[in-house]
Amino acid sequence: MKIPNKIPRVRVISFTGDGERLVASSSKRSLSSRDVEEIFERMSDGEVETWIRETLRRGHLSPWEHSVYTFEVVCSRVCSHQLVRHRVASYTQLSQRYNERLLEPRDPGYWLDLSERVARGDREALEEVGRAFYLGDPDWPEDLIVITASEYARSVARYWELRARGMSKEDARYVLPQAVATKVVATMNAREILHFLGLRMCTHAQTEIRLVAWMLWRELLKIHPRLFRYAGPYCLIDHNQHARDVASLEEILSGEKEIAIERCRELVPREGIRKCILHSLHQFQKYES
């Protein structure tokens, strides 16, 4: 039986349109006595690139805080609980208390039957469970995904049994697993996004939040490439604060520039860092294909 490959989704809703120039002008602001409006209007595209690179080289990242992005993430609650740990941000999440649509129909028998069908290898039943839940890492063994999906359906049956006995929504949901699907709108400035991507694009991050990070990076690269070409796992950010010349993620991955740090924060030695990032990238590309 082929397992449905359900992955999270990310889309940017709103952003500071002149964010790149704003970051660069704010960086130059710290050294120039001219009015910021004059700096902003007179800055050429080449200067924008120069001053963005200067923020990274000096670790002067406060100018990045002036460019703001709002995006939606569709994921599991396992993933969303990791997302909201990034505290310099605003979040609005789909209420599990007031929205039971994903858990319908309200018939416990329907969900118990679904659980048994999944256990027997029924693909349609598995896809129905996947409507309400994330089925774990697609690299998990097939039998493990089937077992967990069957248990997810059984948990919904228990949920509706508790609701039928008069238990409130907020208390009945104690029996639901964190794999249940959710939606979150998040607003972050570029500096916090740089921190988020630094932690979550890393191979050592949990699979689902890592996919979210790579997806967000890909979308932001389309919007503000002069900023986010320098975003990536923290090994890249740390490199740019130690190297003589700032490098983009593409330049590191292609081997055009060599890593300057002895080891990353996860203690991967210099010679293994590029391979580690490539592994994370290839996993992302595999799930997207």
Q: Return the active site residues.
A: 200
As a whole number of angstroms, the distance between CA 53 and CA 44 comes to 14
Contact call for residues 192 and 89 (beta carbons, < 8 A): yes
**Cα–Cα–Cα angle for 206, 212, 215, rounded to 5 degrees:** 135
As a whole number of angstroms, the distance between CA 75 and CA 180 comes to 8
| Residue of 261, 262, 254, 253 whose CA lies nearest to 280 | 253
Residue 49 identity (one-letter amino acid): E
- Radius of gyration from C-alpha coordinates of the chain: 23
Strand residues in the chain grouped as ranges (E): 9-15, 68-76, 89-93, 181-189
Sign of the dihedral defined by the CA atoms of residues 203, 272, 229, 195, in that order: positive
Pairing of strands 89-93, 68-76: unpaired
